[in-house]
Amino acid sequence: MAIIVHHLENSRSQRVLWLLEELGLPYTVTRYERDRKTMLAPPELRKIHPLGKSPVIEHQGRIIAETATIIEYLIALAKGGPLGPPEDSDGALRWRYFLDYAEGSLMPPMLLALVIGKMGPFGWPARSFVTKFAMTHIDYVEAELSQRAWFAGPEFTAADIMMSFPLEAARARLKLDGKRPTIIDWLTRIHARPAYQAALAKGGPYAYA
């Protein structure tokens, strides 16, 4: 049974389309547009999952939310393969870690930077604190990526897919170009992947590519 992806434009769910393209699994996309004023998801998404967020997938009667959970589910469905955890235990640990780190630790400062930016002058008092908080993570990620080609090890895996959205958001909000060459090089390499480009064509508007 094909997988249905409930996909919100310009959002984290782009990663799920990309993973499905990499895995070559059949899927269909139900697209949602953001409210033009609030930039929130439309109420129809709440009919799929009570939180009304994207991504959500449907498969064999299951409704599955949370990007990392979806990624692990799809990797299991594809029976592992090169995008799953590496065979060496350090690589496997890094794979799992970056799946959690992307949404659990890296996204909160990126979201704060977005909110502060939208607040205009009211956000100014918090700006230097938030930027410092965010840049601590960016420096950490830059150092990690300087040690190996991809997040889990020498090969591209789903850990790279998971890390794409926060780092694309960081590039847009924290103006990383010219300052963090390793992250920018990694972004250039992921954007060059045919499956990344195919997912863009399926997903519609995505302001971070």
Ligand X SMILES: N[C@@H](CCC(=O)N[C@@H](CS)C(=O)NCC(=O)O)C(=O)O
The position carrying tokens 């990383």 is 176
∠ Cα 96 65 91 (to 5°): 10
Our CB check for ligand X shows the closer of 53 and 137 to be 53
Q: Which residue number, 54 or 157, has a Cβ lying nearer to ligand X?
A: 54
CB of 58 to ligand X, least distance (A): 15
d(CA 174, CA 126): 15
Q: How far is the CB of 166 from ligand X (least distance, A)?
A: 10
CB of 203 to ligand X, least distance (A): 12
Say what angle helices 67-77 and 89-101 make with each other, to 10 degrees: 140
Return the number of the residue (99 or 183) whose C-beta is nearest ligand X. Answer: 99
As measured in angstroms, the least distance from the Cβ of 3 to ligand X is 16
Amino acid at 4: I
Report the nearest approach of ligand X to the CB of residue 87 (Å): 27
Q: Which residues bind ligand X (CB under 6 A)?
A: 8, 11-12, 40-41, 52-55, 66-67, 103
Closest approach, Cβ 119 to ligand X, in A, equals 17
Of the two residues 69 and 146, which places its CB atom closer to ligand X in the complex? 69
**Using CA atoms, how far apart are residues 109 and 73, in angstroms rounded to an integer?**
27
| Paired tokens of 169 | 């958001």
What are the distances in angstroms from CA 59 to CA 68, 70, 71, 97?
A: 16, 11, 13, 26
Nearer to ligand X by C-beta: 100 or 155? 100
Of the candidates 160, 169, 147, the one whose C-alpha atom is nearest the C-alpha of residue 193 is 160
* Nearest residue (CB) to ligand X, 153 versus 163: 163
Helices (H), 6-155: 14-23, 44-48, 67-77, 89-101, 107-118, 124-147
